[in-house]
A and B are shown apart, each in its own frame.
Chain A
């Protein structure tokens, strides 16, 4: 919303400097994004939240400033609408379910022409293009008061009839700016005897607009159903100033004021005379409503005691007509009633004020969020484990092992393109997909971390010789949403470590997590590196945080290296387990060295109950050699 300071000043005295005003407006909820100084004015650009359609008008912003400055607002002078003895004929058929209020009047004998300078300048400051005096007045009053208004050329309404109805879908409509549309189903439109003349709440029709030759106009100030406007506007991809107001909820009690203001200006700037009694078709009276605020509840939610007088002043400055009903002092009543209630009367332009908490916000924001003290929650700290608990300390532990091993961590997008999939021989048909992707490159949910890691690997090749990368992140499995699962994967890629180093790294991770798992199956040997990918969510289910201290051995071990020559294809792991199996006194076996078919094992013998003797070890060694020979035809290498 663009707001010129000069226009605001017509309704409220402003003492704050533009910079201070901008800051205060932001604090109360009208986010001031820019302050532009022009040669004769200051323009504020405000971000209006969806709950405040009233602030899509100058008067709405002026009201907020009046509350900030604690001043009264000067509402424009409105005439009483004159009735006429000789009304022109016009039948209006409407339905409050699709058009809750239809306010309007006919003015005849007008002269369409250029707007006066002051009006054109005002519109231009608001980035609006002046068109002619009638259209400009309707735009002006909408910007001023926040009620959208449309002027029809009365003489083009065939049959003197206006019928509000919903479309069946597919109807042709040409907007006042000359663009042709096919209307969606359920759009609210006005038709005359022959054709659609208005797309309600969004755009007027070209066939009934106000042009040079127009002599008689019908001014319509409606209330529309937000959802219906929203749906049509979205379906057509067509938004207007009017539709943004109607979508969010127009001031339903403001149509008569807007009609008076418009009529007054038309008579002044375009001449003519009132040619109908005012129309105001509605089923309910759009009256202000009552809302109560318990003073004790206010204190309780805010955490401070704003004095009663200050509270009343704030509500008064917001035009909410507060009336304090003192609390009952009888002892048995609970605390909540002691401070009494403040009954407010909510003006129809404040559709956002519906519950007590809304009033609490009103008091708090005008009091000023930055004037509040800061406290910490007082209650008990929860000790029961929260649902959906995640142990980030475990992630940190794993990541630190990878980091210590030289791997750097990356974060990549979960969304990938179909090309990414097909290049990696994955059928996109079997991958979860977004219906409305931001681009083809980000259409599918990744089923693996490999694709992004490979890309990262290639990207870094131009700058680095040695690359070690990993990611711990979600992958998304399931061919359709019914089977969709989000699983954490831990994956890495390296061209700087060999298979055994990666294997050892994974073994170290498993060991630290207390998990018994074979790491080989997670490792893939690529053309130019090693890749690993682990289903991390699955893996950490076996996480065992318990570590038990084992007392240090009282008796020294005997250590020896045995070189073995094997024949044919013998697996090292088989040899190691065979050696271990020969005696419980063999406490550790590791591969020290290998060359061709010779392998040297480092063997630790230890008895926790007594000193081992050379003879005892020789006995075990014999057993080992014997079994290795019989099972693997392995011989001692002398």
Chain B
């Protein structure tokens, strides 16, 4: 379509019907209103590579806790035969490093910022946010109760961006030392 042709066509289409003609809009990179789905072009070539999947973030966080604090090594090890002192020594270091790593990437805060063991009012009875225990009324709702556990909420997750197409299933690379 010539530039003058497009210009005139657009001018009169907008003047009389208030919309940009579909073909002109597409040519200039605008998606026609309300017709986004219908006129979606062929799938993009990027989807040929495996995209970042939902599990990749979990593997990534495990990878971070392993890299900075050796958490996976610890959880996967059979420690039934190790004596308490040995476990204690390892955990002291591990816990400190894992906490540091966790705090760097995830900002955790209590769901209810109260004192455990004291009465707390409830603003919400959403079971995903507050779990009621004990003599729960038949309605499943209560205005408050004794705070047993403050809960945790991830206020902010700040993980480095993952690249699609990378081998995102590796939690920790094998280490091979050259003598």
Q: Do A and B bind each other?
A: no
- What is A's interface to B at a CB cutoff of 8 Å? none
- What is B's interface to A at a CB cutoff of 8 Å? none
